[in-house]
Structure 1
Amino acid sequence: MRRLAPYQTGLWLAEYLDIRCQLCRVYRSSPQSQLLQSQSTLHSNDALNTNTVFRASNDKSPSAKLIQQTYHLLNRGLLCAHCHHSIAWLPKPFEVDISAGTSLSIQAATYYDYPIRQAVRAFKHHEDITKLPILLHAIRQLPRARGCHHDNSVIVAMPTTNQRLVKRGFDPVSILSAQLSKHWRIPLWHGVMRVDDTISQQGLTRAERLSNLDNAFVLIENPPVKRLLLFDDVATTGASLQALGRVLSVPKATTLDNQSHSNYLLSGYALAHGSQP
């Protein structure tokens, strides 16, 4: 039997074995039918349909009772209504300059504020994998850029250094971007390497962030397509995405076919946007 990765186990445990809201941990989680008003049918992953449950509700047999319990378990959400609505509104996109006359538009899924901030910190700094379902719930609200699909676009996740990977033990952005890739059905591309040994961006001013990221990224191969969707977990000032975008906006002089690969279409995305006090 194939062994589940730790974060996959966390997804399963949080989603099916805990009925409390996964953010505030106070209120009971609400059914998806209540959180998503437009949802008129069960999610495709649910094993039972409404008609089956309705018939079972009039049946007092042990098997019918099991059907009812299973239905309510599978149709339960991860969040209480209050926490769901607190992260349900997309922030307005903001722009950062990446070259003369060129800017990068960054769209975040939610704000880096309570309660999502606590979930991000727990996942990134304490490896609390039970918070991963909430973060995935948020990034699935990101609108895919119009015209982007698996043949003409790639997702470029914010790379990390080997030193940071060894110290932390896992790469949060890699896990989140892999799930976004599945959701959008757009492949990941790993053609940029992070070579810096800079300090953490947290707590730095915008000017310090930009200086800290000088020469942080190296393009190790040309992108295979023109549409590049850059992704990071938290965009505070957008400095990291800005630096990544600058590297990708400057083509190599020549390629194997002696053609310049310029004029890439860049879009920036993040799980959350806001300050990191």
Structure 2
Amino acid sequence: MRRLAPYQTGLWLAEYMDMRCQLCRIYRSTPQSQLLHHQTQFRLDNITNVPPTRTALKQHSFLTNIRNQANSYLSSGLLCAHCHNDITWLPRPFEVDIAPSISLSIQASTYYEYPIRQAIRAFKHQEDMTKLPLLLHAIRQLPRPHGCHRNNSVIVAMPTTSQRLVKRGFDPVSILSAQLSKHWQIPVWQGIERIDDTVSQQGLSRAERLSNLDNAFALIEKPAVKRIILFDDVATTGASLQALGRTLHSSFGVAPLDQHQPSHGYHLFAYALAHGNQ
């Protein structure tokens, strides 16, 4: 049997054996499917401002019974409903230019603020695996791109340099992208390498970030599929994803998918765990 990495074992234990919320450690964790149901119902109630129908009450009662039965055996969630609802999920996408008249839309799962900011910093800089369950929960809020599946798409984790990998000892973005791959059932592709030895992007202006990433990426091989999904942990100005998108576009004409004018060429998508200032 292949030996599991410590973070994989820890995630399994957190999700299926630990009944407590991985953030507050007080309330019982809630399965992802139920969080989506409650979140949707909450939005509908706020929009319509009308009492629930008899059918809705029956559905709620049915779901409550199912939840109680499931919780009596194994937990299948990471956060409780209280902590989940305290975090803003899926902020409005923002765009960056990768070529003249071609922009790339970047969708983040949440904002780079408490408690996500602290969790990302602890995981990236201190290899604190206890923060990984919260980050996995955030990853699961990302909607899979329409029309993308394991046979026509790949995920590209933001590449890192060998020097940084040796210094840090592990690649946090690769670990996170592996979890996104499991969640979406889309394989990770490692056909791009980072060839520069630039300084950290933290604290740089947008212009400095773009200049810092000039000629930072190189294509190793051409992907066998037509849909390429870029992923990074934190998108501040989107400069890293922008530079990566520019490399792909200049290499073989990959561009964001225009659903109004579909084509048979390569299509590009971009996602991040969090968006905000580092």
Q: How does 1:24-43 map to 2 (within 5 A)?
A: 24-25=24-25, 27-32=26-31, 35-37=35-37
| Amino acid in structure 2 at the alignment position of 1:241 | L
1:196 alignment counterpart: 196
2:118 alignment counterpart: 118
Q: 1:252 to 1:75 in 2, by over 3 A?
A: closer
| Amino acid in structure 2 at the alignment position of 1:250 | S
| Amino acid in structure 2 at the alignment position of 1:164 | R
What is the CA–CA distance in structure 2 between the aligned matches of 1:214 and 1:177, rounded to whole Å? 24
| CA shift digits 1:211-247 (9 cap, x unpaired) | 1111110111122222111111111110000000000
Q: 1:263 to 1:50 in 2, by over 3 A?
A: closer
CA RMSD after TM alignment: 2.8
Which has the greater radius of gyration?
1
1:247 alignment counterpart: 247
How many pairs are equivalent? 245
1:270 alignment counterpart: 272
Report the identity percentage.
73
1:140 alignment counterpart: 140
TM-score w.r.t. length of structure 1: 0.79
| Amino acid in structure 2 at the alignment position of 1:202 | Q
What is the CA–CA distance in structure 2 between the aligned matches of 1:73 and 1:112, rounded to whole Å? 34
| Amino acid in structure 2 at the alignment position of 1:22 | Q
What is the CA–CA distance in structure 2 between the aligned matches of 1:245 and 1:51, rounded to whole Å? 43
Q: How does 1:163-174 map to 2 (within 5 A)?
A: 163-174=163-174
Q: Contact conserved, 1:155 with 1:230, CA < 8 A, in 2?
A: yes
Q: Contact conserved, 2:136 with 2:179, CA < 8 A, in 1?
A: yes
Q: Contact conserved, 1:23 with 1:119, CA < 8 A, in 2?
A: no
Structure 1 residue 4: Cα displacement = 2.5
Q: 1:15 to 1:268 in 2, by over 3 A?
A: same
What is the CA–CA distance in structure 2 between the aligned matches of 1:243 and 1:17, rounded to whole Å? 41
2:7 alignment counterpart: 7
Q: Contact conserved, 1:13 with 1:130, CA < 8 A, in 2?
A: no
Structure 1 residues without counterparts, runs of 5 or longer: 43-48, 54-69, 254-261
What is the CA–CA distance in structure 2 between the aligned matches of 1:171 and 1:52, rounded to whole Å? 38
What is the CA–CA distance in structure 1 between the aligned matches of 2:229 and 2:68, rounded to whole Å? 42
Give the SS at the match of 2:251: coil
Structure 1 residue 74: Cα displacement = 1.8
Structure 2 residues without counterparts, runs of 5 or longer: 39-59, 254-263
What is the CA–CA distance in structure 2 between the aligned matches of 1:9 and 1:149, rounded to whole Å? 26
TM-score w.r.t. length of structure 2: 0.79
| CA shift digits 1:105-138 (9 cap, x unpaired) | 1001111111111111111111111221211111
Structure 1 residue 19: Cα displacement = 5.1
What is the CA–CA distance in structure 2 between the aligned matches of 1:192 and 1:268, rounded to whole Å? 15
1:107 alignment counterpart: 107
What is the CA–CA distance in structure 2 between the aligned matches of 1:150 and 1:13, rounded to whole Å? 27
1:153 alignment counterpart: 153
More helix by proportion, 1 or 2?
2
| Amino acid in structure 2 at the alignment position of 1:106 | I
Structure 1 residue 34: Cα displacement = 6.4
What is the CA–CA distance in structure 1 between the aligned matches of 2:117 and 2:148, rounded to whole Å? 29
Q: 1:181 to 1:92 in 2, by over 3 A?
A: same
Q: Contact conserved, 1:155 with 1:181, CA < 8 A, in 2?
A: yes
| Amino acid in structure 2 at the alignment position of 1:107 | Q
Structure 1 residue 188: Cα displacement = 1.4
What is the CA–CA distance in structure 2 between the aligned matches of 1:275 and 1:36, rounded to whole Å? 28
| CA shift digits 1:173-223 (9 cap, x unpaired) | 111111111211112111110011111111111111111111110111122
Structure 1 residue 24: Cα displacement = 4.2
2:187 alignment counterpart: 187
| Amino acid in structure 1 at the alignment position of 2:120 | V
What is the CA–CA distance in structure 2 between the aligned matches of 1:3 and 1:239, rounded to whole Å? 37
